[in-house]
Amino acid sequence: MSTQLTIIKIGGNVIDNPDALKRFLTAFAGLPGDKILIHGGGKVATQVAEKLGVQTTMVDGRRITDRPMLDVVTMVYGGLVNKQLVAQLQALGVNAIGLTGADAGTVLARKRPVKEIDYGFVGDVVEVDSGQILYFLRQGLTPVYAPLTYDEAGNILNTNADTMASTIAVDMAGRATVSLVYCFEKKGVLANPDDDDSVIGQLSPELYAEHKAAGTINKGMIPKLDNAFNALDKGVSRVVICHADEVAAAVTGAGAGTTLRLPTPA
């Protein structure tokens, strides 16, 4: 393994758009050095659940994972989506290995406690085995993670893919210089949600707070950015949020998307 590691999370509408996904995977395959891919797949899970007669319940954009929905997301994330990505990467010359957090015990979680809302079988990450992930990389493998973890009782847990990307990046930062890139269908963090070209080139915690207070950054972007700033704060060297078509430019530092910055120490 090299001392440089790129961790990319792909989500949004890209997963269920074959043309967009093919473009992204082709770009991902061409990235230099060691890399890890973490994927979502929420829309696919919702579509499959509907076909199976399983009700989808969302609260503030987050999926309630009861037992029937847990079966659906395990099948869709860990099976259908994950293995399709692995197969396509193999065809592009990437020796990918499809994983969940349960595989080789790499991402341990605990079931989220019930407070105001019972999210069901949703996991909050407790521990990442970066040594085992490092072993995969040293074997020339590219891990492709579904957003599923496990707990000590042997339960599979549905886990936010942004959070998985952040926690894996933080743990791997102790072993390599890690860049974390969040890719989706937008060009980055937008100053005006209705203007796709209003990309904020650099985002500091102070500017983030201003946009949150003004309401221009809201909903699902808030937990994504919270995860991203947490990763920077805990040792990840670089975090970028960008359009899936611009992943290569984001990784090489060509100015694509939104780059997150922490304040320079006095």
- Residue extents of the structural domains in the chain: 4-260
Nearest Cα to Cα of residue 54 among 67, 43, 41, 44: 67
Is residue 42 part of an annotated ligand binding site?
A: yes
Tokens of 194: 């209705």
4-260 maps to which CATH number? 3.40.1160.10
Residue 214: Cβ within 10 Å count: 10
How far is 255 from 15, CA to CA, in rounded Å? 24
How far is 140 from 177, CA to CA, in rounded Å? 18
Is residue 238 part of an annotated ligand binding site?
A: no
For 47-90, what is each residue's pLDDT tens digit? 999 999 999 998 877 889 999 999 999 999 999 999 999 999 99
Tokens of 117: 């809302």
For 193-244, what is each residue's pLDDT tens digit? 888 889 999 999 999 999 989 888 887 788 889 989 999 999 999 999 999 9
Is residue 235 part of an annotated ligand binding site?
A: no
For 14-44, what is each residue's pLDDT tens digit? 998 999 999 999 999 999 999 999 999 889 9
Tokens of 51: 């076909």
